[in-house]
A and B are shown apart, each in its own frame.
Chain A
Amino acid sequence: MRPDATLLAWWLDELDEEEANDVEAHLFECEECGARLRELLELGAGVKRALLEGHVAGAVSGKFINRLREDGLNIREYRVASGDSVACTVAPDDDVVVSYLQAPLAGVRQLDAVFDDHTGTHRATHIPFNAAANEVTFIAPTALLKTWGVAQQRVRLLAVTQGAERVVGEYTFRHSPWPQHGA
């Protein structure tokens, strides 16, 4: 038996040659490990499908967006400076909607984001960010946005340090639905 972490590390090419050969030989003998890895990869395929179908929201890296673009996905992008407001929409054939929120992030250890819109308030903690670029890259839930009418969303980025927090960026997204054909 091999742990899930080892099986996944093999799949992702993280093992050295000797370790990889050992896992490969084991997978030819062990039905159970093979079944566990297949289950893990099906879970991963579900995660990928959720992204491609527009059901994932959250911070990612800018390089990841480049990869999506290279793969031919339709990406709608908004680059927003702190304090700015942006008119935004989502087209029927958009696969991913991305916002690049700019803020002074040097020295920030923990960054949280608070989202306010007609559905309520949501706080995301410990979000990944690019301190060198002073930027946070957010993927919006494209499938959900396609169902929205006119709406507004405020986003605040908060730098958190031992019980205290300060706002490092505020952004307003004014969403309009994509015009209906013939409207």
Chain B
Amino acid sequence: MPQRAEATDEIALTQRIMRAGPKRDVAAEEQFCRRFAPRIRMFGLKRLRDDAAAADLVQDVLLLVLDKLRAGEVREPDQICGFVFGTARQLVIDSRRTSGRRTRLLDTFVADLEPAGESVSHTFDTDRLRHCLQLLAERERAVLVMTFYDDCPADELGTRLGLSAGNVRVIRHRGIERLRDCVQGRRKEPT
């Protein structure tokens, strides 16, 4: 099966970092961080539900992965995505993680991770979003507001509203589509 172009890029970056070893290919490391930081952050936010903890996780994972790449300890560079994922998962699970190691690594490399990429932001027009929200059907608005206020899953929300979880998912999906279309101007007014 052919690999995705972006995966090929990631493998190429991985190989560059490994080849440079302790001498370091700073440009490749920066690109590597820009690619993986948003993915680790998303994973961290989901698992930890905390911005600061997710930001810490991004740094911890990247520092550890780069450390291992420079030391030539990654055996399958073509599986780098899985390696980063496994490292992130292990760090979340591992309650024995000590601050000592993190401090040592940060002291050594923190300056390199300063530009570690933030994701592209899809900023919505606030006034437009408010307007579009009020144009949604009552149930759609209720479901979206109650879902996104505290990341409420469909079964719990269904209990609150007297609906089945499946019904909540349908309403949620339809509401998101209409809201997004309205906000992005693809549809003037939800019906």
Contact = CB atoms under 8 A, between A and B. Distances in A.
A12 B84 CA distance: 23
B137 A55 contact: no
Interface in A26-83: 27-31, 34-35, 37-40, 42-51, 55-61, 63-64, 67-68
A108 B139 CA distance: 16
Contacts of A59: 138, 142
Interface in B16-67: 35-36, 38-39, 42-43, 46
A51 B133 CA distance: 10
A46 B127 CA distance: 10
Given A43-B183, A56-B141, A59-B142, A34 B161 contact: no
Interface of B: 4, 6-7, 35-36, 38-39, 42-43, 46, 81-82, 84-85, 88-89, 119-124, 126, 129-130, 133-134, 137-139, 141-142, 144-155, 160-163, 165, 169, 172-173, 176, 179-180, 183
Contact of B122 (A39, A48, A64): A39
Contacts of B161: 61, 128
B148 A34 contact: no
A29 B7 contact: yes
A58 B46 contact: no
Contacts of B38: 34, 38
B134 A13 contact: no
Given A14-B154, A38-B42, A59-B142, A43 B179 contact: yes
Interface stretch (A3-11, A86-94, A153-161, A170-178): A3-11
B135 to A, nearest CB: 11
Contacts of A35: 119-120
Given A27-B43, A28-B43, A38-B42, A55 B130 contact: yes
Per DSSP, chain A at the interface is helix
A46 B151 contact: no
A44 B89 CA distance: 25
Given A12-B153, A25-B85, A125-B137, A43 B43 contact: no
Contacts of A13: 151, 153
Contact of A124 (B138, B147, B176): B138
Given A24-B85, A28-B81, A38 B145 contact: no
Contacts of A140: none
Contacts of A44: 144, 147-148
A66 to B, nearest CB: 10
B148 A38 contact: no
Contacts of B120: 35, 38
Nearest to B83: A28
A130 interface: yes
A51 B147 contact: no
A2 interface: no
A45 B142 CA distance: 15
A60 B142 contact: yes
Contacts of A125: 137-138
Contacts of A57: 134
A127 B120 CA distance: 37
Contact of B138 (A51, A58, A63): A58
Nearest to B128: A46
6 contacts: A4-B176, A14-B154, A28-B81, A34-B42, A43-B179, A56-B130
